[in-house]
Amino acid sequence: MIAERLGQLGIVLPHAAAPAANYVPGVVHAGLLHISGQIPFDENGDLIRGRLGEDMTMKEGAAAARRCGIGLLAQMNAVLGDLDKVRRVVKLGVFVASTPNFTDQPKVANGASDLMVEVFGERGRHARSAVGVAALPLGVAVEIDAIIAVDA
């Protein structure tokens, strides 16, 4: 069971973040759960802000991506009611706030990708995009959206 796996990993899911505008956090359609972009909150609920290549290290960026991944797990749980309904993590879209000369967005994205494999095993392996952007909402370092195959 995924809940037991989370416990083994020492992961406590936060409350799923409420939408900040005119959208919903997740939509299930045709066996796929589409999760809106999640931004990183630390364990205290504070935003993780910064820009890679400017005021944030690679390690800090990967940690922020992991926290986005935890937000994705919280949204999956809120929409599905049970993480055991996840059949496969299909794709992550990772946006990294970074300077023009920073080119290690994939290494930052690994923070979330590694988490999905830790939690779901082979079902957590996924396709992915990892792109650099000039700025993200509220000055956060990373934002990640997802497509998840689910049981109906």
In a domain, 21, yes or no: no
Average pLDDT over the chain, rounded to an integer: 97
Q: Which amino acid is at 43?
A: E
d(CA 145, CA 25): 10
In a domain, 50, yes or no: yes
The pLDDT tens digits of the residues spanning 87-115 come to 999 999 999 999 999 999 999 999 999 99
SS3 state at 35: strand
The pLDDT tens digits of the residues spanning 7-41 come to 999 999 999 999 989 999 999 999 999 999 999 99
Instruction: State the average pLDDT over residues 53-80.
Output: 98
Q: Which domain holds residue 85?
A: 2-11+31-150
In a domain, 93, yes or no: yes
pLDDT at res. 116: 98
In a domain, 16, yes or no: no
In a domain, 19, yes or no: no
pLDDT at res. 20: 86
| CATH number of the domain that residue 110 is part of | 3.30.1330.40
* DSSP β-ladder status, 142-150 and 86-97: antiparallel
In a domain, 18, yes or no: no
Count of structural domains within the chain: 1
In a domain, 23, yes or no: no
Confidence of residue 117 (pLDDT cuts 50, 70, 90): very high
d(CA 127, CA 138): 27
